[in-house]
Amino acid sequence: MSQHLQSAARHAAELIEQADALIIAAGAGMGVDSGLPDFRGKEGFWNAYPALREAGIDFQRAASPATFRADAALAWGFYGHRLNLYRQVQPHPGFAWLRTWGERMLHGWTVFTSNVDGQFQRAGFAPEQVHECHGSIHHLQCLGPCSEAIWSAQDFAPQVDEGRCRLLNVPPSCPHCGGLARPNILMFGDGAWIADRSRAQEQRQAHWLQSVRRPVVIEIGAGTAVPSVRWFSQSIIHEFGGRLIRINPTEFNVPTPHDVGLPVGALPGLSAIAAELGSEWFFPSDLA
Ligand SMILES: [Zn+2]
């Protein structure tokens, strides 16, 4: 570990030790160390989906309600593959560290994420304390939509021809009108996303935030290209006087000298901080 990273990690550990609440703000970079693909940049996306490169379809087009209308087997080929992937992937150890640190704080923790992959819940985070601002791939809604209904995707097992990026089995349908169902995710050019589930999560989170006094935000893998997570981090600093630990390999600048940036990826950043925290931060059961 470089000396710079080590001293940044020590600063981060001090911010964690003085805080009464942990706010985890995670973007796409959080999942990369679990082996999930990063869709930023055309090449990254097409390397993950070569069939879409051949068809000249970029991420913005694949992830749009228009593509569900034009070619459901292709749209569900893309989302079905991701659904299968996210159901199988093992979250990296950074998730468990974050949960342990949050559990040691007076007011506990909350999660704000633009990721739709459900990895925090898979890593054992209580679903009622997670705010998924762009929705979740593990939930469905009507493509129409005919109603505001949102339901679990658990009964749908996609069979995907990965080479052609096409769904082979019958896509899920709306239980109310029988039309095509789609993931309950905010897509590009999407005026029909049902935000009720995400809004309820947001309200629970806002209520919880009223109780905290010295929050620390650990922001992980959230770039300026999709700024929702960064806006959330800033709002915590402005409204609640929180401090910021920003883990990001390229965009790691922080607003004040009291805050700290770690210029690395999620897992190396979190493990550097873990190495600087005392052993009492590793055994939540000791609290009892
Ligand atoms: Zn419907």
**For 107-144, what is each residue's pLDDT tens digit?**
999 999 999 999 999 999 999 999 999 999 999 999 99
Is residue 112 within 8 Å of 131, Cβ to Cβ? Answer: yes
Give pLDDT tens digits for 60-81: 999 999 999 999 999 999 999 9
Confidence at residue 225, expressed as pLDDT on a 0 to 100 scale:
81
Higher pLDDT pick, 35 / 206: 206
Position 288 pLDDT exceeds 60: no
Ion ligand 1: residues, Cβ under 5 Å: 142, 144, 146, 174, 176-177, 179
> How high does pLDDT run on average in the chain?
93
Nearest Cα to Cα of residue 63 among 23, 235, 269, 52? 52
- What confidence category does residue 48 fall into, taking pLDDT thresholds of 50, 70 and 90? confident
Total-model pTM: 0.94
How far, in Å, is the centroid of ligand 1 from the Cα of 249? Answer: 43
Is the model's pLDDT at 211 over the cut of 80? yes
Q: 69 alpha carbon to ligand 1 midpoint, in Å?
A: 14
How many angstroms does the Cα of residue 173 sit away from the middle of ligand 1? 8
Supply the pLDDT for residue 38.
77
Q: Which two tokens stand for residue 4?
A: 């710079």
Res 44: pLDDT: 83
Q: Give the distance (Å) from ligand 1 centre to CA of residue 230.
A: 34
Contact assessment for residue 117 and residue 31, using Cβ atoms and an 8 Å cutoff = yes
Ligand 1 centre from 180 Cα, in Å?
7
Please report the pLDDT score of residue 39 as a whole number.
Answer: 77
Distance separating alpha carbons of residues 142 and 155, to the nearest angstrom: 15
CA 172 / ligand 1 centre spacing (Å)? 11
Q: Residues 222-266: pLDDT tens digits? A: 988 878 999 999 999 999 889 999 999 999 999 999 999 999 999
pLDDT for res 280: 77
Whole-number Å distance between alpha carbons of 272 and 49: 33
List the one residue out of 112, 134, 133 whose CA is nearest residue 188: 134
Q: What is the dihedral of CA 62, 66, 70, 76, to 10 degrees?
A: 50
19-39 pLDDT per residue, tens: 999 999 999 999 999 988 877
- Span from the CA of 143 to the centroid of ligand 1 (angstroms): 7
Please check whether residue 234 is in contact with residue 34, taking contact to mean a CB–CB distance below 8 angstroms: no
Q: Any idea how long the chain is?
A: 288
